[in-house]
A and B are shown apart, each in its own frame.
Chain A
Amino acid sequence: MVAQATAIQSHTVTSKSRGSLTRLHAKEARMGALLVVPTVCGIVVFTAGPIVASFALSLFRWNVINHPAFIGLQNYRALIHDSVVLHAFMTTALMAGLIVTLQIGLGLGLAIVVERRSKRLRKIYRAAFFFPLMTSAASISIVMTYMFDDHFGVVNYYLSLLHLPDVSWLGSTVGSVATIVLVVVWQQVGFTFILFVAALGNVPQELVEAAAVDGASGFQRFRTVILAMISPTILFAATVGVINSLQIFDQAYIMTSGGPGDATNTVVMQLYEAGFENLKFGYASAISVFLFIAVLALTALQFRLSRRWVYYSGMEGT
């Protein structure tokens, strides 16, 4: 009986405790929801809302002056047959591939070299490489346009001092693509550099030392141990890099206006031209939806492929 009473009492206490706990959790949940509401509102109004509006607008013909007219999928049908826009997608994909490859390669290389320097020098280099990232792409593009000008640019001037011929940086098809890729990489390599500095710092030294003890050369230690350990960072840098470089606009617009011809004409430039120059906002929205789908598909592909080469420590045995 005593045991029963104790059991009932303990059950009652447990029920009461559970009830208090539930009320406490509910209260915390409400508070948490309340604190998150401003951020969610911001995302809905400034991000999700415009995305949905863009999807909707792509089904209309609207030139800003007259009322929008519903035309269904006509914009998408026109887009599939628009060789200029499709060419812009190819150009953008080429530039994105070059930019991401260079950013990761250069960022990792710089991180490895800089981390071997003294502490004081490391701080200076980190600041130096990160600094361009804090400057606006438009300002950099304006300055670079003058620096790479075919006639009075500083780059060709120094080439002439070395008795080298002038290079048509912005006036030739290959030169203009290369120059824009260079400028983008120069500005954004600081981001991948910082990522890899942090990632290299988190590589367990005992693993590297163990590999050394087992007779692995420097390159083998890098390839089999360090690369594996920083592979999640490489995936992150590649994913962010692809998303950003597929949306390249400032540099191409300011430095070459998409030229010469359409050599550096990017998707976002086509989008801008369709909307703000040709007043075809429905068509411009259709281009943006296509770009969104392309970015989504590439990101999904990257994550899918990452299962084969990305190593997450702590996943042993799973």
Chain B
Amino acid sequence: MAAGLLAATPGTAFAQKTRAVQYARSLSSTAELVIAIFGSEVSSSLKELAGDFSKVYPGVTVKLVPYPAADWNGFFAKVLTQLAAGVQIDSVTVATEGVQLFASEGLALPLDSYVMKDKAALTNYFDDVHPVLVEAMMYQGSLFLLPTDFNAGNLYYDTSLFEKAGIERPADNWTQEDFVNIVKHWTNQKAVGWDWVVRLWGSWTSWMYANDANLLTEGRWPGGSWLWKNFYPSSMAHSDSGGWRWGAPTANDPAVVEALQFMFELQKQGIAPSPDVGGGTELQGLFASNKIATTIGGGFWAGGLHAAGMGPSSFDVQFFPAWKVQKHLFGTAGYAILKQSKNPDAAWEFLKYITSANSISLLVGAKAGNVSTPTRRSMLTAAAYADTGPKHWQVFYDTLDKFPNTAPIPASPYYEALDTAFIQRTTQALSGGNAKSALDGLQSDLEKLYK
């Protein structure tokens, strides 16, 4: 009887395990969950996670299939091609870049009914995750992913280069002018003061956000009250948000042009080189070789720089400088259940399973080498970042807490075409030296897509 009472009580671990066992019995005895992940190989920690899940749910085998790609665009293209070919995929890693694409095309299953059914089990998760991250995973009032990790565009700096130049850590509320005064120290030097890569997340777009501008008009879908009322009753900022609604293009807005022009100025002054196009692996390599004094990076840089051989005190992180405003961009990721899945219930159990602290640690956190920033606030601790650094790891989550204007990258349903146009027009501007002309072209490209 005691066991029965315990099982009936929602929050206990015993209750969760009992429900899991009961549920596992109800699932097909040979259910196979196929999960598509972004990467060239399945990490050992992810394999461990899948193995743990299968122990809790003996009837379900998890098959992790890696899809290597240079960026999210390439990954989504591969996954979509596989789906077209009739390959069975139950769940797929999706980042901000693809949430609205998958949601608007009816590829991903809305999680609303699942979330409400397991409200008690998920309360702990939502209490630990900033609402802005959850909002980024919503579309037209429905939730499509439970975010597991995120990355805000903070500013990384090389502590040894700063020390040699006699520069102290910038203040939290430093400005673009302070930034220029600092990076000037590396004008026409072997190391450069500032470097970046051409991509939507964390390039000149961070300066665009700081200049209070965006490529697309920012808006919100209605709806979503079911989630806010039940899980974030005190969060007034998001109480009537059904997710981000990206409106008409504003790519050639004067503030956007000014942001891109600022990059040219840094180049002309010999502070920054001409950037490469790509995911940032080379950028990380150059930074780890002390060739770059400052650059944009997210929590994933902690693990990346550690893997590249940098010690925990060799680099540090600070909020992105203020220009007109101090506004950061971010991206977040999780797993979506595909509508074509033959095992949506099992896939939902997997999604829930991976939102635990231990699972997120294995996926992206300390146990995985800090390859991204956990969405669970409680997981960002000194112990978690002791091995990798940075020293001021608090910056990662404080970006969300201290700056309510932090917003996701403008990943609309036509993200793939937007990203291609963005890269093309940015490289056009870089080779021609004319930001206005290139951004007029980008505006025209986006207007055709927006229609």
List residues of chain A with CB under 8 Å of any chain B CB. Answer: 63-65, 149-152, 168, 171-173, 256-263, 265, 273, 276-279
Enumerate chain A residues within 8 angstroms of B81, measured Cβ to Cβ: 64, 276
Among listed B160-168, B398-406, B418-426, interface-contacting one: B418-426
Main secondary structure of the interface of B (DSSP, over half): helix
Contact B107 A65, beta carbon cutoff 8 Å: yes
B431→A276 contact, CB < 8 A: no
Q: Are B277 and A259 in contact, with the CB atoms below 8 A? A: yes
Among candidates A171, A258, A279, residue contacting B431 with C-beta atoms closer than 8 Å = A171
Residue B273 is within 8 A (CB to CB) of chain A in the complex: yes
The answer to whether B424 and A258 have CB atoms under 8 Å apart is yes
CA of A64 to CA of B106, assembled, Å: 12
Distance between Cα atoms of A87 and B84 in the complex (Å): 30
In the bound complex, do residue B423 and residue A259 qualify as a contact, i.e. CB atoms below 8 Å apart?
A: yes
Alpha-carbon distance A149/B277, docked complex (angstroms)? 11
Give chain A residues whose Cβ lies under 8 Å from the Cβ of B345: none
A258 CB contacts on chain B under 8 angstroms: 424
Q: Please state if A259 and B424 are interface contacts (CB–CB under 8 Å).
A: yes
**Bound CA–CA A256/B107 (angstroms):** 31
B274's closest neighbor in chain A, by CB?
A: A171
Residues of B within 8 A of A259 (CB): 277, 423-424, 427-428, 431
The yes or no answer to B4 lying at the interface (CB within 8 A) is no
Write the nearest CB–CB distance from A158 to chain B, whole angstroms: 18
Does B416 lie within 8 Å of A257, measured CB to CB?
A: no
B73 within 8 A of partner (CB):
yes
- Bound: A261/B438 CA distance, A: 9
Interface SS of chain A: loop
Residues in A with CB closer than 8 Å to B84 are 64-65
Which residues on the B side are within 8 Å of A265 (C-beta)? 424
A256 / chain B contacts, CB cutoff of 8 Å: 277
- Cβ of B83 and Cβ of A64 under 8 Å apart? yes
Q: Tell me the bound Cα distance from A34 to B82 in angstroms.
A: 36
Report Cα–Cα, A168/B431, bound state, in Å: 9
Give the distance in Å from the alpha carbon of A151 to the alpha carbon of B80 in the complex. Answer: 36
Distance between B446 CB and nearest chain A CB, rounded to angstroms: 13
Task: Please name 27 pairs of A and B residues whose Cβ atoms are closer than 8 Å in the assembled complex, sorted by A.
Answer: A63-B105, A65-B84, A150-B273, A151-B274, A151-B276, A168-B431, A171-B431, A173-B432, A256-B277, A257-B277, A258-B424, A259-B427, A259-B428, A260-B428, A260-B431, A260-B432, A261-B431, A261-B432, A262-B428, A263-B431, A273-B420, A276-B80, A277-B73, A277-B416, A277-B420, A279-B80, A279-B416
Q: How large is the interface on B (under 10, 10 to 19, 20 to 34, 35 or more residues)?
A: 20 to 34
Which of chain B's residues have a CB closer than 8 A to the CB of A278? 414, 416-417
A150 near B416: Cβ-Cβ < 8 Å: no
Q: Does B46 sit within 8 A of A, measured CB to CB?
A: no
Q: How far is the CA of A14 from the CA of B83 in the complex (A)?
A: 67
Shortest beta-carbon contacts, A-B, top 4: A261-B428, A260-B431, A259-B427, A260-B427
Q: Which residues of chain B have C-beta atoms less than 8 A from A171's C-beta? A: 274, 427, 430-431
A109 to B80, CA, bound (A): 47
Chain B window 363-393, contacts with chain A (Cβ cutoff 8 Å), 1 for yes, 0 for no: 0000000000000000000000000000000
Which of A65, A151, A168, A262 lies in contact with B105, CB distance below 8 A? A65
Q: Is B77 an interface residue (CB 8 A)?
A: yes
Cβ-defined contact, B417 with A277, below 8 A: yes
Chain B's nearest CB lies how many Å from the CB of A278? 5
Q: How near does chain B come to A136, taking the closest CB pair, in angstroms?
A: 16
Task: Identify which of residues 266-283 in chain B touch chain A, using a CB-to-CB cut-off of 8 Å.
Answer: 273-274, 276-277
In the assembled complex, the Cα of A278 lies from the Cα of B112 at a distance in Å of 28
In the assembled complex, which residues on chain B have CB atoms less than 8 Å from the CB atom of A152?
A: 286
Most buried by A among B274, B414, B417, B431: B431
Q: Per-position contact with A for B256-295: 1 when CB-CB < 8 Å, else 0?
A: 0000000000000000011011000000001000000000
The smallest beta-carbon distance between A128 and chain B, in angstroms, is: 31
Q: Do A261 and B427 touch (CB < 8 A)?
A: yes
Complex formed: what's the CA distance from A63 to B274 in Å?
37
Given known pairs A171-B430, A173-B431, A277-B417, the reply for A257 and B273 (CB within 8 Å) is no
How far, in whole Å, are A256 and B274 apart by their CA atoms in the complex?
A: 14
In the complex, which residues of chain B have a beta carbon less than 8 angstroms from the beta carbon of A168? 274, 431
The smallest C-beta distance from A21 to any residue of chain B, in angstroms, reads 52
In whole angstroms, what is the CA distance A159 to B52 when docked? Answer: 56
Given A171-B431, A258-B424, A276-B81, 5 additional A-B pairs, CB 8 A? A65-B80, A257-B277, A259-B277, A259-B424, A259-B431
A171 to B105, CA, bound (A): 36
Q: A262 to B425: give the CA distance in the assembly, Å.
A: 8
